[in-house]
Structure 1
Amino acid sequence: MHNLPQEWLEAARVSKAWPFEEARKLVARVEKEGPREILFETGYGPSGLPHIGTFGEVARTTMVRHAFRILTKDEVPTRLICFSDDMDGLRKVPDNVPNQEMMRAHLGKPLTRIPDPFGHEQGTFGAANNARLRAFLDRFGFEYEFASATEYYASGRFDATLLKMLAAYDEVRAIMLPTLGPERQATYSPFLPICPRTGVVLQVPTIARDPEAGTITYIDPETGEEVTVPVTGGQVKCQWKADWALRWAALKVDYEMAGKDLIDSVRLASQICKALGERPPEGFNYELFLDENGEKISKSRGNGLTIEEWLTYASQESLALYMFQKPRSAKRLYFDVIPRAVDDYFSHLASYRDQAPEQQIANPVWHIHSGEPPVVDMPVSFAMLLNLVSASNSEDARVLWGFISRYAPGATAENHPKLDELVGYAIRYYHDFVRPKKSFRVPSETERAALSDLDERLAGLPEDADGETIQNEVYAVGKAHDFAQLRDWFQGLYQVLLGQDQGPRFGSFVALYGIAETRRLIAEALAGKLAA
């Protein structure tokens, strides 16, 4: 990083790519406070199975961290902590975990005190979900440190700041009370004691506190007895807005992102952090992901894509691209976004090498690969492969490679491993999402005449005609026949020949699939065999 060309550094300082805009906030922070380690943090609530939104926060934060390292020539040390709030009490049983009845028996307990519903011996629910998150982050190659709230509270790492919280008790309440209803105002305390009898995280009022002794007193809601506990040593945890501020202050966090639904929470946590005598971190509010119905994704409901589901049908790089693009815009996160994300990734990768430095550092692949995008030859798009699987009526990778090798001479699964990977993704995606929805129809009279015309024109072309030559003929056919719009002709091609409403550039598809094979497809459509 020290040896970056000067033109790159100059371009980075003025780049409008959002990771650089965020990194410049931190550069200003360092310039004001002096050189020191910069700590990035992401938070994770492991009450449900990890979902892509959780991963997205780590991916985006990593992009900002890399941009900061570029702007500071890697002379300012940085760390990224992925913090799990696994000491939180379980409020409801997630819909998408087994052993629901067992889980209900442990409602209210910290996640790390609830048995693992997935059946791992000696494990806990919190540990199981933490392991799932870490396994993916490790698979993706993130550089991070994992932190557990249970460990940090119990080990005493938060003790000094918890005592500050106790000393600032009235000030913290003054920050929080205006945001609460009358009933909650009467009972609010920033401290949630862990009941020594039941192990449940209690939301009870603090009836007395002793800053010198470091204790609070509350009334046990079941026995009516007064109970005095220290706020240190893992005997209590903080209410989550206060808990957020506690982490920021104790660890001296410099940067943390949050969704737009948490803007007010960020504001309150920042005020509490100041009350504890520390500067709150810089931040970035990203938009939320939506499911297929436009509803907010919830990890407890499991209504969005899981990490594993995305990686069944597409690469890690395509997922990272989806996270990079328009982070301040709400986006649907469902299976139908995958093909576009895959092809967009390879499109950006293909254009990178010929770009000027200022364009390269704005290119998503530069941020996805931390400034070192790979060189990949991808002669066939994902959309094209999906249609090749459809038209060839084969889900055999060897058959598909027969078409690919003819289209791109010399290309093999061995010397094009990324393309071979894409072939596998395309077969799975087609099988699960395209084939079940395919619906062929018979051509209209206008379409029959146009298809016959196209067949004759294809017959007059050499078998190795390129996609552009074939596309010109397809256009000529559409213009020669009585279509209201040229778009109607192309939609008709897709519906009649491929059983779907849209598809790739048709000339390129024919070049890949083959002129003879396409003519056979037209003949079957005209004979009514496809619709049958």
Structure 2
Amino acid sequence: MTMEDLIAAARVSKAWPFEEARKLLKRYPDGKPGNVPVLFETGYGPSGLPHIGTFQEVLRTTLVRRAYEAMIGARPEDGKTRLVAFSDDMDGLRKVPDNIANKAVLEANLGKPLTRIPDPFGTHRSFAHHNNARLVAFLDQFGFEYEFVSSSDQYNSGAFDDALRQVLRQNQAILDIMLPTLREERRKTYSPVLPVSPSSGVVLQVPVEVVDAEAGIVRFTDADGTVVEQSALGGMSKLQWKVDWAMRWYALGVDYEMCGKDLTDSVTQSGRIVQALGGRKPEGLIYELFLDANGEKISKSKGNGLTIEQWLTYGSQESLGFYIFPNPKSAKQLHAGVIPRAVDDYWQFRAALPTQALDKQLGNPAWHLLRANGGFDAAEAPGAGEQLPVTYGLLLNLVGVLGADASREQVWSYLGNYIPDADPARHPELDVLVGTALAYNRDFVAPTLSKRAPAANEAAALSALDQWLASASPDTSAEDLQTQVYEIGKREEFGFENLRDWFKALYQTLLGSDQGPRMGSFIALYGIANSRKLIAEALARA
């Protein structure tokens, strides 16, 4: 594949990252003026820790970034784009998080900028610095290419001062945009600018009068009743959220930023404000939020969601990216039950990649995920075209039969029946999945596992299968085993209406599950002798 081939295919691809990237191509038909990199941004509120929503927003933004690079014929190292992970750490702390042990430190500093509050964990300069460090470590864990930018650094250093002066100049225009959107009581105290109290250090929610926009001077009444006249520049103020977002777009020159559906109104108002400042609203995507297993919105207070730590306990990082990839505008249920299929589907798409035509590759989620952290030709990237020696579903069935106390060593010993070179060092990605399969079985399968007794016709069919296995060679191939399982299920004497009923009986009586793998593959993996023991146990229950 040549760069010219990629450019041509990317510009007509209907995969959603390319659809989003085309907005930027339309925005800058001849490139961004001054040959400045196109700027992508993601935002982070450091009053809490990074989570699965943080991951999906940075991942999706990265996918659009790489799609845009493909469209203009740029490689990541060419510097045609930038991704800024922006921490809103100048924000005043409004509420003490529930998961903090030393809450007294935060309670004593409510309302102050997050970077001016002591770290309750005692490891960093401030509460925000602690959480920012967690964000950076989090993003680095997944190999994202980004630049970290702190809101406090921008305010305190004066980097935002010119943009703040423009906010002061357009104070009334911003009020005209915002006041109609607020409740009557809120209008009385609303100001685009939130001054920092010189006496308490708290970010104040009080009416503010602009005294001198060019000098950056404002007037307000402090909490103690003192009328204060001071600069709004150099970290002496912060902007209201929607104004702050717009100012950031204006000051940094942000070209693309996506957000969740819950911020739809903020996008609208901030877009109008940035225009009032003389800037341009970024391109972007409003994505749907995650739902729980019952289709209800995930809530931190309810704890009804799945954390990224939980996903990585039961599945792989790549499978999480794969599950997140499809249509961002559709809500996705996020629970442990979706993980096994996501793992296997990812590997199926990854294995197919090198054999696909270029247009098909660009619609393959694995192409985008392999390119996310660099690389030109995803079809030739390390790992493209690889297949797992066993599916994750089959691995889960094996672990389920071995029981909740199964060990990694036991699993690998059984994998030796199926893989010529069954060595964790030779198959590191499979070894990761062995560990996640053991955890998934322990927490979700073993507690509910129940093998039912076979009906009379099912017992007869199982006996026939056992008799055939008794004379089969231990190294009989999975395909030959599968063929024999089919043949037994088709015999009229056993009375199965269709093969589906026969396989369901095998899953429920031998594995304790309503669904399962190709039985030929399972028997080859578990071993003929061990499989006959399963049949004997099932027949004993009849």
Do both share a fold (TM > 0.5)?
A: yes
Whether contact under 8 Å (2:46, 2:87) holds in the other structure is yes
Cα distance in 2 for partners of 1:256, 1:152 equals 19
Opposite residue 296 of structure 2, the aligned amino acid is E
* Residue matched to 2:469: 458
Q: How many residues align?
A: 525
Cα distance in 2 for partners of 1:243, 1:442 equals 65
- SS for the counterpart of 1:503 is coil
Whether contact under 8 Å (2:212, 2:218) holds in the other structure is yes
Whether contact under 8 Å (2:6, 2:71) holds in the other structure is no
Cα distance in 2 for partners of 1:486, 1:93 equals 58
Percentage of pairs with the same residue: 55
Measured after TM superposition, the shift of residue 300 of structure 1 is: 6.4
* Residue matched to 2:8: 10
Cα distance in 2 for partners of 1:455, 1:56 equals 49
Superposition pairs of residues 353-372 of structure 1, within 5 angstroms: 353-370=354-371, 371-372=377-378
* Residue matched to 1:521: 534
Worse overlay, 183-192 or 152-161: 183-192
Given candidates 180, 200, 203, the residue that maps to 2:202 is 200
Superposition pairs of residues 84-123 of structure 1, within 5 angstroms: 84-117=87-120, 119-123=121-125
Whether contact under 8 Å (2:3, 2:73) holds in the other structure is no
1:449 paired to 2:460 = yes
Whether contact under 8 Å (1:94, 1:300) holds in the other structure is no
Opposite residue 382 of structure 1, the aligned amino acid is Y
- SS for the counterpart of 1:14 is coil
1:282 paired to 2:321 = no
* Residue matched to 2:266: 265
Measured after TM superposition, the shift of residue 90 of structure 1 is: 2.1
Given candidates 18, 21, 39, the residue that maps to 2:19 is 21
CA-based RMSD of the aligned residues comes to: 2.3
- SS for the counterpart of 2:83 is strand
Opposite residue 246 of structure 1, the aligned amino acid is M
Worse overlay, 285-294 or 462-471: 462-471
* Residue matched to 1:170: 172
1:78 paired to 2:81 = yes
Cα distance in 1 for partners of 2:157, 2:22 equals 35
Cα distance in 2 for partners of 1:231, 1:5 equals 49
* Residue matched to 1:500: 513
1:437–1:99 distance in 2 versus 1, CA, 3 Å: farther
Opposite residue 107 of structure 1, the aligned amino acid is L
1:345 paired to 2:340 = no
Measured after TM superposition, the shift of residue 44 of structure 1 is: 0.8
Worse overlay, 396-405 or 54-63: 396-405
Opposite residue 511 of structure 1, the aligned amino acid is A
Cα distance in 2 for partners of 1:85, 1:40 equals 16
Measured after TM superposition, the shift of residue 301 of structure 1 is: 5.9
* Residue matched to 1:237: 238
1:426 paired to 2:437 = yes
Measured after TM superposition, the shift of residue 355 of structure 1 is: 0.8
1:488–1:202 distance in 2 versus 1, CA, 3 Å: farther
Whether contact under 8 Å (1:8, 1:358) holds in the other structure is no
Opposite residue 325 of structure 2, the aligned amino acid is F
Cα distance in 1 for partners of 2:48, 2:294 equals 21
C-alpha distance after superposition, 1:316-344 (max 9, x if no partner) = 22222222122221112222222222111
Superposition pairs of residues 254-403 of structure 1, within 5 angstroms: 254-298=255-299, 303-370=304-371, 371-372=377-378, 373-375=381-383, 376-393=386-403, 395-403=406-414
1:504–1:272 distance in 2 versus 1, CA, 3 Å: same
Whether contact under 8 Å (2:348, 2:387) holds in the other structure is no
Cα distance in 1 for partners of 2:107, 2:421 equals 60
Cα distance in 2 for partners of 1:194, 1:496 equals 69
Measured after TM superposition, the shift of residue 485 of structure 1 is: 6.0
- SS for the counterpart of 1:213 is coil
* Residue matched to 2:217: 215
Worse overlay, 507-516 or 32-41: 32-41
Cα distance in 2 for partners of 1:491, 1:106 equals 61
Measured after TM superposition, the shift of residue 313 of structure 1 is: 2.8
1:76–1:421 distance in 2 versus 1, CA, 3 Å: closer
Whether contact under 8 Å (2:340, 2:392) holds in the other structure is yes
Scaled by the length of structure 1, the TM-score of the pair is 0.92
Measured after TM superposition, the shift of residue 502 of structure 1 is: 2.3
1:99–1:296 distance in 2 versus 1, CA, 3 Å: farther
Cα distance in 2 for partners of 1:363, 1:238 equals 42
Whether contact under 8 Å (2:38, 2:81) holds in the other structure is yes
Measured after TM superposition, the shift of residue 272 of structure 1 is: 0.5
Measured after TM superposition, the shift of residue 276 of structure 1 is: 0.6
Cα distance in 2 for partners of 1:229, 1:189 equals 15
Cα distance in 1 for partners of 2:236, 2:303 equals 32
Cα distance in 1 for partners of 2:504, 2:108 equals 56
1:182–1:440 distance in 2 versus 1, CA, 3 Å: same
Measured after TM superposition, the shift of residue 275 of structure 1 is: 0.6
Structure 2 residue runs of 5 or longer lacking an equivalent are: 372-376
Whether contact under 8 Å (2:50, 2:134) holds in the other structure is yes
Measured after TM superposition, the shift of residue 208 of structure 1 is: 5.0
1:434–1:125 distance in 2 versus 1, CA, 3 Å: farther
Structure 1 residue runs of 5 or longer lacking an equivalent are: none
Worse overlay, 351-360 or 500-509: 500-509
1:326–1:465 distance in 2 versus 1, CA, 3 Å: farther
1:302–1:220 distance in 2 versus 1, CA, 3 Å: farther
1:292–1:230 distance in 2 versus 1, CA, 3 Å: farther
Whether contact under 8 Å (1:96, 1:301) holds in the other structure is no
- SS for the counterpart of 2:417 is helix
* Residue matched to 2:374: none
Superposition pairs of residues 32-71 of structure 1, within 5 angstroms: 34=33, 35-71=35-71
Measured after TM superposition, the shift of residue 420 of structure 1 is: 1.9
C-alpha distance after superposition, 1:440-471 (max 9, x if no partner) = 33333343333223323433544333334333
Cα distance in 2 for partners of 1:491, 1:132 equals 47
